């Protein structure tokens, strides 16, 4: 019988082991790349979601504060509430509350174009609470603006241009000129957002004659 020629011989055991090892390496590399791509996709999706929530909060604050008006209201018990308040005695966790104009009424509902709004920090979520009517009504369901919030504080710029850590205006119609909102989200650095309040046509107090002479 003639011996098999080299071209007709099968793979040796060593060649099979080498081929299996190469295949295993390629498989591991493929799984690693797939997992990396999936993890990246999940991370990007989460980041986009965070950015969307942050942008939603910014847009809501900007729209509400820019259209703030000097209109005091009354709560459910009939007690007067200033046009702008730091916190809200009727709402736990309230940061600040105001009355805004320009409330869209696409369905022509029998209501005014003004809306009472309060921003609330509740169970790690920054929420926007609104009322269906200005006076004597209970608040509607709150809309979540931002989640995983650790802290949220506000500073207020008064008509003298001074920043204050609280707002205790004696005039029920008084509005701050601007608000600086500081928000810290879990695992993120503190974010400071600055917003103008109301129509910026209010005139700052002019210095007295004595102050002018001193300057």
The predicted pLDDT at position 7 comes to 52
Is the overall model pTM greater than 0.95, yes or no?
no
Report residue 107's pLDDT band, with 50, 70 and 90 as the boundaries.
low
Burial of 97 by CB count in 10 Å (0-12 exposed, 13-18 middle, 19+ buried)? Answer: buried
Superfamily of domain 59-196: GSPII I/J protein-like (3.10.610.10)
Residue partners of 167: CB distance under 8 A and separation at least 6 = 84, 85, 86, 96, 156, 176
Domain limits of the chain?
59-196
pLDDT tens digits along 115-125? 999 999 999 99
The predicted pLDDT at position 117 comes to 93
Q: Closest by alpha carbon to 156, among 118, 196, 122, 185? A: 196
Distance CA 53, CA 41 (A): 18
Token duo for residue 15: 């060649």
Higher pLDDT, 40 or 172: 172
- Please determine, for residue 3, whether its predicted confidence score (pLDDT) is greater than 70: no
pLDDT tens digits along 45-78? 555 455 555 788 899 999 999 999 999 999 888 8
Query: What percent helix, strand, coil does the chain show, rounded to 5?
Result: 30, 25, 45
pLDDT tens digits along 147-202? 999 999 999 999 888 999 999 877 889 999 999 999 999 988 898 999 999 886 54
* Cα pseudo-dihedral 26, 29, 34, 35, rounded to 10: 140
């Amino acid at each position: 019988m003639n011996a098999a020629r080299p071209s007709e011989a099968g793979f040796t055991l060593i060649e099979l082991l080498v081929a299996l090892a190469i295949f295993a390496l390629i498989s591991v590399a493929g799984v690693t790349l797939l997992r990396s791509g999936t993890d990246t996709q999940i991370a990007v999706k989460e980041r986009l979601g965070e950015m969307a929530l942050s942008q939603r909060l910014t847009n809501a604050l900007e729209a509400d504060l820019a259209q703030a008006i000097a209109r005091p209201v009354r709560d459910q018990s009939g007690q007067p509430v200033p046009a702008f308040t730091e916190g809200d005695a009727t709402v736990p966790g309230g940061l600040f509350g105001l009355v805004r104009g320009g409330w869209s009424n696409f369905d022509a509902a029998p209501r005014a174009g003004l809306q009472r709004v309060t921003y609330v920090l509740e169970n790690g979520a920054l929420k926007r609470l609104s009322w269906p009517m200005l006076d004597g009504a209970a608040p509607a369901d709150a809309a979540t603006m931002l989640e995983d919030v650790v802290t949220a504080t506000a500073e207020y710029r008064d008509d003298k241009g001074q920043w204050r850590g609280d707002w205790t205006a004696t005039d029920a119609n008084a509005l701050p000129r601007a608000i600086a909102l500081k928000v810290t989200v879990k695992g993120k650095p503190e974010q400071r957002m600055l917003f103008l309040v109301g129509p910026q046509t209010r005139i700052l107090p002019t210095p007295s004659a004595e102050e002018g002479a001193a300057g």
